[in-house]
Structure 1
Amino acid sequence: MAALTIGFLMDPLETVRVNHDSTFELMREAQKRGHRVLYFEQGWLRFNGTCTEARMRHVTVRPEQGRHFDILEEAVHPLSTLDVLFMRKDPPVDVEFLHATQLVELCGDRAPAFINHPAGIRDANEKLFALHYPDLMPDTRITRELPVLLDFIARNPQGTILKPVDGYGGKGILFLSPTDRNARSAVELLTMGGREAVVAQAYIPESRLGDKRILLVDGEPVGGVLRVPSEDDNRGNMAAGGTPRKAVLTPRDLEICERLKPELRKRGLLLVGIDVLGDYLTEVNVTSPTGIVEANQLDGVCVEAKVLDVAERLAAERNAR
């Protein structure tokens, strides 16, 4: 295949942890295949009167922390000059993030192939998208009403997990037992006194064994990581101190993936990380799902190669039009 121009909308490249960051692995794979790698940040986007452009840096990357990239050129380019654009800005999904997903679509009839599609990212809140499949989820409530939340906590004898709707990286997640005298105060804090809705889910005891991050490329499971919480924490998120272990996908895991596949493909959500606790789907992560490095190491796979295969196919279809 002829060399492509591949853009990465992401957080500052200076802050990347080269032995952990999934976006960096994707950049390395693109470079390995001879493609031109351009990087830019959300704040570098602008609309020029006819289309969206951005200040972009043409970079080369290497797995050496602290000297992991070189800038070959820095210039302003219309987004229409990209063959593929990876949307890899980390949460929070705030107003600026949503504005960016709208700006990148303003490319006339020469929009790049997106991974993931900005409209799909906007529509698929990572805590709420799974609610389309209530039979796959633990018993769940989304509300800001304190009496509803307190009643739900009281009716779950094994406990309740509370988390912010727009949370990420394990931040703000609480476990409450039905007899916890902190329950009312915790609910007041998380809901900002009843002003913000939260997610309440029945506690799944298997979570002590870890939750599975399963990576799907074009709807197909390609690798996974079991994230095991520490003894003194309920959160398995690696950002919160969870330990990555090899994950074995069960028939139930594969059933969940198969159920999600048609909708993910329809929405252009081509690189997704779902979270599964026991037999239950808990989240569908679409903004910049992590776990590629760990899945590669533990499963002996090469997730980034599968993603770039899809990117090249989409670019070929775009350029043939």
Structure 2
Amino acid sequence: MKLAIILDPLESIKTYKDSTYAVMREAQARGHELYVMEQHELILDEGKVRAHARRLDMVADELDWYTLGEPAWRELSDFDVTLMRKDPPFDMEYIYSTYLLELAESQGARILNRPEAVRDFNEKLSTAKFPQFMPPTLVTRQQDLIRDFIDKHGDIILKPLDAMGGSSIFRIQRHDPNLNVIIETMTQLGSRTVMAQRFIPEIAQGDKRILIIDGEAVPYALARIPKAGETRGNLAVGGKGVAQPLSANDWKIADALGPRLKELGLFLVGLDVIGDYLTEINVTSPTGFQEITAQSGFNVAGMFVEALEKSVGGER
């Protein structure tokens, strides 16, 4: 299998925790060819979507862990599959890339996750497609409605629809002296839409990341447990990742969403679950492979590459 990966600069990859790194290691160990490119190396030229791709070979050295071949312009249809593993932000450049990748699909390329689905699944708002698992939620830019929501629930989370890693997430309680200024700032005086959700106390036991691979759940979740004095469990803000078997409710959510996500071409998805509630559906560049594998012994990258092999084989 010729596997192409669109990713962040190689020198920025943290090999001890990066999920794409784990996938590349597993793929090479299974005899597959690896090719890499960055987002800006994806172009449309004379009607064809091409990328300035380089062959990558991984070596044992922890510091200089790869060698690269000479770059060459390749049509994405030359590869068996192309993985879009560019980290957010999901900005206009990311959207432009989905347009190019969608065009590449029409030219015979196989892109995972499907660019149309990535573009359609806002990672926070897409939970509304599965309302039976959502906490009480309000999406608006009207400040009075947010105040009414706080009055009703007493304790809420307010977050933007386009951030990652726990950025700009506020917990607000009914009598917070900064309530008005937080709402004004978050909505940019009523010009930006935000999401409000009832606070879920079970965050103290962790914000669980459940990985779905080609419709099937990894049997262990990574519970991101907030550090002392924090509401957010995100690893980027100091949360501690603890691998744990999926609960009965986790399986219920995963089993309900998995087939639908697969049908849409979302090959790798990270579901965020707090208590019994689904809070986010991560489709851009879900991670957690290495932490789960190290703590549980379950080879997540192995499951991923094996699913890729079956998926690509089924296309032939």
Equivalents in 1 of 2:217, 2:33: separation in Å?
28
Report the counterpart of residue 36 of structure 2 in structure 1. 39
What's the CA shift for 1:248? 2.8
Name which of structure 1's ranges 63-72 and 204-213 shifts more when overlaid on structure 2: 63-72
Aligned 8 A contact 1:7 1:38 in 2: yes
2:233 equivalent among 224, 232, 236: 236
Decide whether aligned partners of structure 1 residues 64 and 148 sit closer, same or farther in structure 2, where only a CA change above 3 A counts: farther
- Contact 2:200/2:274, CA 8 A, preserved across alignment: yes
Report SS of the residue matched to 1:73: coil
Give TM-score, length-normalised by structure 2: 0.96
How many angstroms apart in 2 are the aligned matches of 1:149 and 1:6? 46
The corresponding residue for 1:169 is 165
Could you tell me which residue of structure 1 aligns to residue 264 of structure 2?
267
Letter of the 2:249 counterpart: R
The alignment status of 1:144 with 2:150, answered yes or no, reads no
User: How large is the RMSD of aligned CA atoms in angstroms?
Assistant: 1.4
Give secondary structure in 1 for the equivalent of 2:15: coil
Q: Is the 8 A contact 2:217 2:258 kept in 1?
A: no
Instruction: Find the counterpart in structure 1 of residue 213 from structure 2.
Output: 217
The 2-side partners of 1:238 and 1:63 are apart by: 27
Provide, for residues 203-227 of structure 1, a one-character-per-residue CA deviation record: whole Å limited to 9, x for no partner: 0011012111011111211131111
> Which whole-Å deviations, capped at 9, do the CAs of 1:249-283 have from their partners, x for residues lacking one?
11111111111122101111111110100011101
Q: Find the aligned partners of 2:297 and 2:113 in 1 and give their Cα distance.
A: 25
Question: Corresponding residue for 1:303?
Answer: 300
Q: Please state if 1:133 is matched with 2:147.
A: no
> How far is the alpha carbon of 1:61 from its aligned partner?
2.4
Q: Does 1:184 align with 2:180?
A: yes
What SS does structure 2 have at the residue aligned with 1:186? helix
Q: Distance in 2 between matches of 1:299 and 1:28?
A: 19
C-alpha displacement of 1:62:
4.2
1:228 and 1:269 mapped to 2: Cα distance?
27
Corresponding letter in the other structure for 1:195: S
3-state SS in 1 of match to 2:69: strand
The answer on whether the counterparts of 2:134 and 2:278 sit within 8 Å (CA) in structure 1 is yes
Distance (whole Å) between structure 2 residues aligned to residue 208 and residue 183 of structure 1:
23
Provide structure 2 residue ranges, at least 5 long, that are not aligned to the other structure.
none
Q: Secondary structure at the match of 1:126?
A: coil
Whole-angstrom distance in 1 between the partners of 2:216 and 2:208: 15
Match status 1:312 vs 2:309 = yes
The letter of the residue matching 2:117 is G
* Conserved 8 A contact 1:154-1:178: yes
What residue identity is the alignment partner of 2:178?
N
Aligned to 2:189, what secondary structure does the other structure show?
Answer: coil
CA contact (8 A) 1:42 1:89 kept: yes
The CA distance in 1 between the partners of 2:296 and 2:151, in whole Å, is: 40
- Where in structure 1 do 4 or more consecutive aligned residues deviate above 6 Å? none
8 A contact 1:224–1:299 mirrored in 2: no
Shift of 1:87: 0.9
For residue 197 of structure 1, what is the aligned residue in structure 2? 193
Q: Which residue of 2 aligns with 1:5?
A: 2
Aligned to 1:49: 46
1:21-32 matches, within 5 Å, as 21-32=18-29
| Residue identity opposite 2:308 in structure 1 | A
Partner of 2:78: 81
Partner of 2:100: 103
Distance 2:108 2:293 in 1: 31
Report the 3-state secondary structure (helix = DSSP H, G, I; strand = E; otherwise coil) of the residue aligned with 1:60.
strand
Matched, 1:59 2:75: no
Contact 2:5 2:35 in 1 (8 A): yes
Q: For 2:85 and 2:212, locate their aligned partners in 1 and report how far apart those are by CA, in whole Å.
A: 16
Shift of 1:125: 1.1
Q: Which residue of 2 aligns with 1:113?
A: 110
Pairwise CA distance, 1:72: 2.2
Alignment partners' CA distance in 1, 2:190 and 2:84: 33
The answer on whether the counterparts of 2:101 and 2:111 sit within 8 Å (CA) in structure 1 is: no
2:262 maps to 1:279: no
Q: Is the 8 A contact 1:51 1:108 kept in 2?
A: no
Deviations 1:152-188 (A, max 9, x none): 112213x111111011011111111111011110111
Give the SS at the match of 2:261.
Answer: helix
Q: Relative to structure 1, is the Cα distance of residues 63 and 124 closer, same or farther in structure 2, using a 3 angstrom cutoff?
A: farther
